[in-house]
Structure 1
């Protein structure tokens, strides 16, 4: 990681700061950076927020790639949680949910990504491979 010491835990304050940054820069939050110019802009923005996130004395310290990877991993975690909650809510038989509810910061990030995040494409159907 280019000489930056790494601590493992991201603090709640860092998550709040990351949410504020991504809320102001939703195009970075969703990751639609297809052109070289868009990727370069995204890199500069991640470098900028990295300084802010690393300035929290008791939190994780990462380079811009580390924070970008953290965000991608966090989105993946949210997608899995959303799917598990949806399956749990659609179960028959009643009773309490077997999946923990999302906390406030997770709900904020999910709201940022949109209510249909992790839902899949409605009505999409994948045909099975033909046997040869």
Structure 2
């Protein structure tokens, strides 16, 4: 319930105070949330208690998100072991995406490849050409090696010049990690889109329930006053 209320309170989430939204305004907002939650859930927390509960939820979710990002970008090889988000944490993750960054919740880390320069020998064959290093952040790196059995052009044969292609282990690991991270983000994007419409309707129903309860309390109070007057 608390998380659902916070989805419509971006200024409370940011924790920043302006001339248009002061600390007193934030305190009043938290007081309204506390009154509603205590009424619906039978809780006894004051507004500071509910604020602390939200801060704990928010902090734990950000820690888990950071661990998942680190795991997805690891270069140890294999499939990343990502921690599963609970429903509450996924709701908070959706809030983080909307409040902290437009479009994506976290910036992508730019991965660069460093190439060392190898000095050429004083003698070259007609098949030896200089190689230029290039960065390919979105593609696998392929290294082409020439198999040579002789240093002189006169003894080199066509059969010995066949290129061999192989993918470095580190490049394969980076590729697998990037693919897993993209799949994870697409999964969250799809799930959050489905939940967004659901929670919009649910919040509307909860607010209507609070209004009806307040109305019932008022009606019961009027009935009680009428009964007391009759007995006087």
TM bucket, shorter chain: 0.5 to 0.7
- In 1, Cα distance between equivalents of 2:67 and 2:45: 30
Segments of 4+ in structure 1 off by > 6 A? none
Partner of 1:4: none
Partner of 2:97: 114
Select 2:53's aligned residue among 70, 91, 94.
Answer: 70
- Displacement of 1:96: 5.2
Name stretches of at least 5 consecutive residues in structure 1 with no aligned partner.
1-16, 124-132
- Displacement of 1:105: 2.1
User: Residues 31-61 of structure 1: CA distance to partner in whole angstroms, max 9, x if unpaired?
Assistant: 222559511011001001101212213xx53
- Bigger radius of gyration among the two: 2
Name stretches of at least 5 consecutive residues in structure 2 with no aligned partner.
111-232
Structure 1 residues 29 and 119: CA distance shift in structure 2, 3 A: same
- Aligned Cα root-mean-square deviation (Å): 2.7
Aligned residue pairs, count: 103
Question: Normalized against structure 1, the TM-score is what?
Answer: 0.64
Higher relative CO (CA 8 A, sep ≥ 6), structure 1 or 2?
Answer: 1
Structure 1 residues 88 and 37: CA distance shift in structure 2, 3 A: closer
Q: Does structure 1 conserve the Cα–Cα contact (< 8 Å) formed by 2:30 and 2:47?
A: yes
- In 2, Cα distance between equivalents of 1:26 and 1:114: 12
